[in-house]
Amino acid sequence: MSNIRIGKSEIGRGNPAFIIAEVAQAHDGSLGLAHAFIDAAASAGVDAVKFQTHIADAESTLDEPFRVKFSQQDETRYAYWKRMEFTAEQWAGLAAHARDKGLTFLSSAFSPAAVDLLEWIGVPAWKVGSGEFRSTDLLDAMISTGKPLLYSTGMSSWAEIDEAVTHFRVRGAEAGLFQCTSKYPTPLAEVGLNVIEEMESRYGCPVGLSDHSGTVWPSIAALARGVSMLEAHITLDRMMFGPDVPASLTVQEFRSVVEARDAFALMDSNPVDKDRMAANMERMRSLFTKSLAPVRPLERGTVLTADMLTAKKPGTGIPVQQLAAVVGRRLVRSVVPERVLTFEDLDA
């Protein structure tokens, strides 16, 4: 597999999963709320925070319908995108805030103009939304910067993914892929974890899960399978306004996913030598194993037979497995059933 680097993070096999908290449009056009989401993402311990950069005049028209008619404020989808816009300076402030919090700042661009804006800010990679699988002008604008692409496949067929990956490689672009199902929320039965392994085998690049289920289970299951990247929407509270809230994770849920990622990485990076482990647990082994012990008081000089002995804890005396070597030996001192038998109790 060919790993890719985004900022300070190497992504791919041999590295902990790169976790992205997607704010998207959850800020609802409020710059202050957008900054609050950065603080929340940092507190959750994720690697990156991601927005969406929409420039209405460059990507939309009055003919564009709402995916979900959720807004009572915006008459048209175009008007909604207008309200979601930040200035270049405001985007730069968000990126600086993210960097100050130790986060990688990413934003999905939806037009070449948005690519130019984000390139001016200095994003380290490009996130391609699932709906842009036919936007060759947008993809070529991203590729021309020489930065890696993170490509979501939530609406794409295998043939279309093949075409995209071929295009990236012909142009010399590094890319990672996200398995994604563009339903909000995504039913668990349609998450498609099996696609992750198929993508890794087919393309030999880092593969992630972009999840919209609104639960932690797909992320944790993907981590257990060794996924290279994870992305999910973030919400400050399930009572917040917006169409993506049901498909989002709370800050605490993101913390749980990060904790799972770190726990899996720790386990994977520390393979256990069973023989060494057993040797290091010798004291514990002696507590749980058993020794030979007399079934009744036996006098000095008694010649031991099998029916005189039983197995009792702890395993600090003569191991039960050595019964055959004990039968026929003579006691050099009297013994009681409350104590285990030792070799010091037997004749030479």
Regarding whether 73 and 192 lie in a shared domain, the answer is yes
Least trusted range by pLDDT, from 2-6, 34-38, 204-208, 285-289: 285-289
The Cα–Cα gap between 295 and 317 comes to 15
Quote the distance between the C-alpha of residue 111 and its chain's center. Answer: 30
Residue 213 inside a domain? The answer is yes
Q: What is the pLDDT of residue 188?
A: 98
CB of 179 closer than 8 Å to CB of 210: yes
Instruction: Name which of 321, 342, 324, 322 is nearest 333 in CA terms.
Output: 342
Within 13 Å, how many C-alpha atoms sit on residue 24's CB side?
19
Residue 100 inside a domain? The answer is yes
Calculate the average pLDDT of the chain. 96
Regarding whether 24 and 61 lie in a shared domain, the answer is yes
Regarding whether 174 and 135 lie in a shared domain, the answer is yes
To the nearest whole percent, how much of the chain has pLDDT over 90?
A: 93
Regarding whether 163 and 63 lie in a shared domain, the answer is yes
Residue 45 inside a domain? The answer is yes
Regarding whether 335 and 248 lie in a shared domain, the answer is no
Regarding whether 30 and 115 lie in a shared domain, the answer is yes
Q: By three-state DSSP, how is residue 92 classified?
A: helix
Q: What pTM, to 2 d.p., does this model score?
A: 0.87
Number of domain units in the chain:
2
Regarding whether 280 and 264 lie in a shared domain, the answer is no
Mean pLDDT of 218-224: 98
**Where among 268, 299, 320 does a domain terminate?**
268
Q: Which domain holds residue 163?
A: 10-268
Q: By three-state DSSP, how is residue 307 classified?
A: helix
- Residue 74: pLDDT over 90: no
Which CATH number goes with the domain that contains 317? 3.90.1210.10
Q: Report which residue type is found at 89.
A: E
The Cα–Cα gap between 93 and 122 comes to 12
Q: What is the pLDDT of residue 1?
A: 60
CB of 11 closer than 8 Å to CB of 5: yes
Identify the H or E element spanning 5.
Answer: strand 4-6
pLDDT digits (tens, 9 = 90+) for 164-218: 999 999 999 999 999 999 999 999 999 999 999 999 999 999 999 999 999 999 9
Q: Which two tokens stand for residue 143?
A: 């590729």
The Cα–Cα gap between 106 and 9 comes to 13
Which CATH number goes with the domain that contains 67? 3.20.20.70
Regarding whether 281 and 309 lie in a shared domain, the answer is yes
Residue 5 inside a domain? The answer is no
Q: Report which residue type is found at 241.
A: F
Mean pLDDT of 105-132: 97
